[in-house]
Amino acid sequence: MFDVYGIGNALVDTEYEVTDELLIAASLPKGQMTLMNRQEREQLINLLEREHNHEVVKQAGGGSAANTLVAVAQLGGRGFYSCKVAADAIGDFFLEDLTSAGVKTNLDETERSSDGTSGQCVSMITPDAERTMTTHLGISETLSPSELDRDALTQSTYLYIEGYLVTSPTAMDAVREAQHIVRAAGGKVSITLSDMSMVQGFGDIFTDLFDTGIDLIFCNEEEAIGWTQTSSRSAALDRLRAVCQQIVITCGSDGALVYDGSGEVFVPGVPINAVDTTGAGDMFAGAFLYGITAGLNFEGAATLANRAASRLVSAFGARLEKSRVETLLA
């Protein structure tokens, strides 16, 4: 049995501390994710390291849904992750990092291809702790139903869909098949909208996923307002109720607005001096999913998730050391 089955892009994250001027020089929209091909990624690395003398702050396994599944496992939950990496050094790093965190994966049983490269993400952190990302998906862009583990899906309480997958037609084939399998087995389906650029560019695909059946949505305030085309978090919540039974809207350091299907509650955040917001939403979702599968109500799960996210943003990186996660339950 698995508490959460995640599906998403497999990426290795590389972080840099940068200035707003660097983002302007690179023509990157601050606070959003931009897809890049291999040549564009190499040009960005050259700009960072050679022209502006920035050094790597941290390198670690990443990918939004992978971060969430690692959080579930670190808290004591049982997670499974479907993804795709190549037979290269980056893919080896990702697999070792994921399995050492205690997450089961299709990569344990899948022969990896040497045709292509594994995905990588460059995260740039400005002094205000805002993160701007660029992603080269590599072979992850061809994620397909072949990467699904149908036995694991039928044994999972929740399916967790990474919103970034909407950019790939083959990945969406996998998502729709996973939705069908989980719902047929009596499980629930959750999704994260992932990023405002996804909401703006792929709204129709999200609408199709909601029509197919989504039980729980995770989004931040900007994404919620953008997708519903409203002007406030409360108005966005009202609109989202029409398409989803349960809703979680994160509101940065303010906290989170949650709706469990019968009532809503705003759960205040934890005051913290943030230095890096990378992965905050992923950590929140992981802690929240762990909470509700461990028997907490929505308010209790959001309280735990707020604490987890605040601890994450107090240091660099999209994941916490296991020892720092475990103390959240003390």
Angle between helices 221-228 and 233-240 (to 10 degrees): 60
d(CA 2, CA 140): 23
Assigned domain for 227 exists: yes
At 4 the three-state DSSP class reads strand
CATH code for position 157: 3.40.1190.20
% of residues, the chain, pLDDT over 90: 79
Helices (H), 75-156: 89-100, 150-154
Assigned domain for 302 exists: yes
Please provide the DSSP assignment of 188-238 as one string.
Answer: EEEEE---HHHHHH-HHHHHHHHHHH-SEEEEEHHHHHHHHT-SSHHHHHH
User: Per-residue confidence at 53, pLDDT binned at 50, 70, 90?
Assistant: confident
| Phi, psi of 36, deg, nearest 5 | -135, 150
Structural domain total, the chain: 1
- pTM reported for the whole predicted model: 0.91
Tens digit of each residue's pLDDT (9 = 90 or more) over 253-268? 999 999 999 999 999 9
State the pairing for strand pair 33-35/216-220: unpaired
**Does 330 score more than 80 pLDDT?**
no
d(CA 211, CA 328): 36
| Phi, psi of 189, deg, nearest 5 | -115, 130
Q: How far apart are the first and last CA of the chain?
A: 25
Assigned domain for 111 exists: yes
Which of 25-39, 81-95, 147-161, 302-316 holds the top average pLDDT?
Answer: 147-161
**Does 318 score more than 90 pLDDT?**
no
Which strands sit side by side in the sheet containing 156-162, from one edge to the other? Answer: 104-105, 79-82, 2-7, 156-162, 188-192, 216-220, 246-250, 255-259, 264-268
d(CA 292, CA 96): 28
Assigned domain for 35 exists: no
Greater confidence, 41 or 169?
A: 169
Torsion of CA 212, 217, 223, 226, to 10 degrees: 50
| Phi, psi of 188, deg, nearest 5 | -115, 155
Choice among 121-125, 191-195, 248-252, 305-309 with the minimum mean pLDDT? 121-125
d(CA 330, CA 326): 7
At 309 the three-state DSSP class reads helix
| Residue 242: partners with Cβ closer than 8 Å, 6 or more residues away | none
**Looking at residue 56, what is its pLDDT?**
86
CB atoms within 10 A of CB 51: 10
User: Per-residue confidence at 182, pLDDT binned at 50, 70, 90?
Assistant: very high
**Does 59 score more than 90 pLDDT?**
no
User: Per-residue confidence at 50, pLDDT binned at 50, 70, 90?
Assistant: confident
Assigned domain for 17 exists: no
**Looking at residue 239, what is its pLDDT?**
95
Segment holding 298, helix H or strand E:
helix 298-312
User: Per-residue confidence at 302, pLDDT binned at 50, 70, 90?
Assistant: very high
**Looking at residue 155, what is its pLDDT?**
98
CB atoms within 10 A of CB 44: 20
What 8-state DSSP symbol labels residue 141?
A: G
Assigned domain for 305 exists: yes
Q: How far is CA 304 from CA 255, 280, 309, 327, in A?
A: 11, 13, 9, 11
Residue type, 196: M
**Looking at residue 118, what is its pLDDT?**
93
Residue 306 belongs to domain spanning: 2-9+62-116+137-329
Assigned domain for 126 exists: no
Tens digit of each residue's pLDDT (9 = 90 or more) over 78-95? 999 999 999 998 899 999
**Looking at residue 112, what is its pLDDT?**
85
**Looking at residue 206, what is its pLDDT?**
95
Mean pLDDT of 146-151: 96
d(CA 237, CA 231): 11
User: Per-residue confidence at 109, pLDDT binned at 50, 70, 90?
Assistant: confident
Assigned domain for 42 exists: no
**Does 238 score more than 80 pLDDT?**
yes
Q: Is 330 exposed, middle or buried (0-12, 13-18, 19+ CB in 10 A)?
A: exposed
Tens digit of each residue's pLDDT (9 = 90 or more) over 187-231? 999 999 999 999 999 999 999 999 999 999 999 999 999 999 999
**Looking at residue 317, what is its pLDDT?**
80
